[in-house]
Structures are given as structure tokens and as C-alpha cells.
A and B are shown apart, each in its own frame.
Chain A
């Protein structure tokens, strides 16, 4: 009798303890699926950010549920809210304290452009002090929009030449 092969995955007994892959693929696979956010909640967008982390929208499905309040342990800064000029240096300092590789999502109109705050006190877009990877429109954005931004960022990260950068002299 011939039985169907039930093996769906890698069988170490047959193939040995060796997996062949591209380093880029492995590194990017790790990075995209454990992207720990640094929640830079500065205004009302932070409420939507909390909703994204909660059960209904559940950012854990994308491996980004571990909100780290220490920049040393974070990979992706989510700037959620109005950045005033008074707060701008602190945002930049926290970005500087994050370990590379690091990414930034500008969540909502205020973080992206200053939004409705055409004011002497508000930084007109957080991209003036930190490099932004994904901008999210909305005031505030729906939680789905932030999930979409995270997926776009994961898509972007998965195409990075990670190994090349890793071993660059």
C-alpha cells in the first residue's frame, strides 16, 4: 500500500538540521513579524492607538502588540498626535535613543502636517525632525488605517536589503 505523504513541513530526520534560505528573507521575516512599537501618544490619536491594541482590532495579529515604553526596546515609533515645538526635541531624543533598525509611522493629520493647528506653537509635520516611513491620514485615523499603515511598513521592511546593510563595513 502506498500511503500519502502527510509531511507538510521540514523534516529534520530526513533532511538534517540545515535550512537553506536567503539571509535577507530570514532577517526581514523576523523584523516584520516582531515590530515592537514605541507609542508616542501626544493627543487624541493616542486613544485610537489604544483601540488598535485592544481586543476588537488587536494589533497582536501583526506581531506589534508589545508597546515598549522604553525606546531601547522599540523598533517602530508611532507618533500619534500633535507635536508642539516644546515637545519636538523630546520626540527627536527618544527617536535617537531607539536602536537601529528603526522606523516611524506618522499617525494622523497633526503628526503628518500639523493638521488643523496652523499655529505658532505646533510643529508643521513630524517629518521635520525625524524620518517618516508611513503617513496615515485621518483626524484621528480609524484603527483599521493604522493596521494598514503597519502592513505597509511590514511590506516596506520585507523588501529591504537587510543583510547587505548588516555586513556593511
Chain B
């Protein structure tokens, strides 16, 4: 199997409905969600992109449609080239995307992570459980409406929660969130609190 470095030609030939996606580095394409698996299979078997380096998701924020986008990063170990593929999930309230575990077993944990953080389900996944947060955690932390400090909820273990009366609480940010300023020098752009007038003791001004 030889790698096709001219991935754009492959797309023009096999998937004319795929559109180019703005990208700063490697070639990137948007494809319809129902064709994502077919495109991935062709890229793996005919394009030589034999390694799934990453699978993640994007949340465009509540109100926007399509809200959730799943992103695959592929690498060709023979052609030494990357390609990025993105597909928007059809449903904004209950996003779903076909599982790529049949093509790359390594997609398993990536899809569990995307499910854990964004709430995207992957039909066809053999074991779709949360991977970082505990089972029963009620939120999806990387969604835009989830505050950076977190939301109050129960500890995972009811007995320990009753014994210690500890709860999952929003973390004090002490003037944060700490935001980096892009486009400046590394020194000037390092993460700083945007508003340092408030702390844990003095409330954030409304």
C-alpha cells in the first residue's frame, strides 16, 4: 500500500461532496456525518492513512447549529502526511456519530473521552462509558455552557459523602480565569487573570 500524498485529488475523485476546511497545517475536509466512516475507510485502505492519531470534538456553543463537530486526525506512516477530517453531528440536543472502532481499535478510548467531555454518543462502540469523570457524573465538562470552575454535585461514593459531608464544589479561581494573550511575545502573552479585583472572599462584580 502506498500513501497518496495528494489527498485533495483523492477527495476530488472519490468524494466530490466533501468540502475543504480552513486549516493552518495539513489538508482538512468537511464531510457529511453519514459518509464519515466510508471516507475514513477509503483514506485508510486507499490513501495509506493507516494511523488514527487523534479523535476529538468541537462544541460551537449553545444556540448554534450544527453545534457538535467530530474531528479525526489521520497520519500515514508510509507517506508521512497528515489529514484532518471533520463531520458535524446532525442532532444538536443528542449528538451522535458512527464509531470508528471497527476501523481503528485505538478509537475506543478517544470516543469514550469525546462522550465523557461533550456527550457525543458513538453508535457501534463496544463499551461507551465515561473515561475521565466517574460514572454518574451529571455534566459534560467541555461543553460551552459548563463553567470553568465546575458545578456543585455529589461525590461519587454515597457512603464517603455521608461520612465526610464533602461535595463536589466549584473551584475558587482567585481572579481567574487565566487567559493567554495570543499574537504577542511569549513573555507578554503568558496567562494572566483578566480581572484581579475579585477573590474567593470578595464577590465577582456583576
Contact = CB atoms under 8 A, between A and B. Distances in A.
Contact of B150 (A92, A93, A119, A128): A119
Interface residues of A, number: 18
A114 B169 CA distance: 12
Contacts of B155: 85, 88-89
Contacts of A72: none
Contact of A124 (B146, B148, B163, B172): B172
Given A118-B149, A118-B174, A118-B176, A124 B133 contact: no
Interface in B10-39: none
Q: Give the bracket for the number of chain B residues in contact with chain A.
A: 20 to 34
Nearest to A96: B163
A78 interface: no
B164 A129 contact: yes
Given A89-B155, A89-B157, A121 B164 contact: no
B172 A118 contact: yes
Interface of A: 85-86, 88-89, 92-93, 114, 117-124, 128-130
Interface of B: 132-134, 139, 141, 146, 148-151, 155-157, 159-161, 163-164, 166, 168-174, 176
